[in-house]
Structure formats: structure tokens, C-alpha cells
Amino acid sequence: MPRVVVDVMLKPEILDPQGQAVANALPRLGVSDVASVRIGRRIEIDFTGEPDLDRAREIADKLLANPVIEDFTVRLVEADETADARS
């Protein structure tokens, strides 16, 4: 059964201190070719029946993201695909 994935990221103009902290730590790991790091939320929603993208978009808009500071995308992903791909 496919699941719905909502990605929520801070708007580009909003400062992302977490991402910056990671970016600043990279040189210590010997990584110097990273231009920027942004950190947001990935939300996986499983529906009891057919996944409902419109419903998910509504949830994202009302609850999962704050439109003042965040953007979101909603998409369908094969559930086992995501699990398999994990290392």
C-alpha cells in the first residue's frame, strides 16, 4: 500500500540554524565542497484505506506546516520502496 509523504522545509528566506550548524561542522569531517545544508521534516502518513492526497494536503496545510515560515510538498511513495532503500 503506497504511503503519503509530506516534506516540510523552512522557506528559503528563513534562517535555518540547524542546517547551518551541520554545514559548519563539515570541515571538521574533512568535507569542504558543500555549499549549503537545509534541514526540514519528513512526515510519512499511512491511511487505513486508499491514500488520500487531497486529505493529506489539507492536513499539511492546517497542521503539519506553518505557512508563515514553511513550504511543503505532498507525494505518494511505495511503502516498501522507502523501507528497502534504507541503509
Does position 34 interact with another protein (CB under 8 A)? The reply is no
Residue 17 interacts, among its own copies, another protein, none and using kind-specific CB cut-offs from 5 to 8 Å, with another protein
Cell 541503509 -> residue: 87
29 near another protein, rule: CB under 8 A: yes
Of 15, 17, 68, 87, the residue at the interface with its own copies (CB under 8 A) is 87
Residue from the set 69, 73, 76, 80 that interacts with another protein by CB under 8 A: 69
Q: Are 3 and 46 within 8 A, CB to CB? A: yes
Rounded CA gap, 62 and 49, in Å? Answer: 22
Residue indicated by cell numbers 540554524: 17
- Exposure pattern of 13-25 as b/e (b: 16+ CB <10 Å)? eeebeebeeebee
Regarding 36 and contact with its own copies (CB under 8 A), the answer is yes
Task: Report the interface residues with its own copies, using CB under 8 A.
Answer: 7-9, 12, 19, 22, 25-26, 29, 31, 33-49, 52, 55, 57-59, 62-64, 71-75, 82-83, 85-87
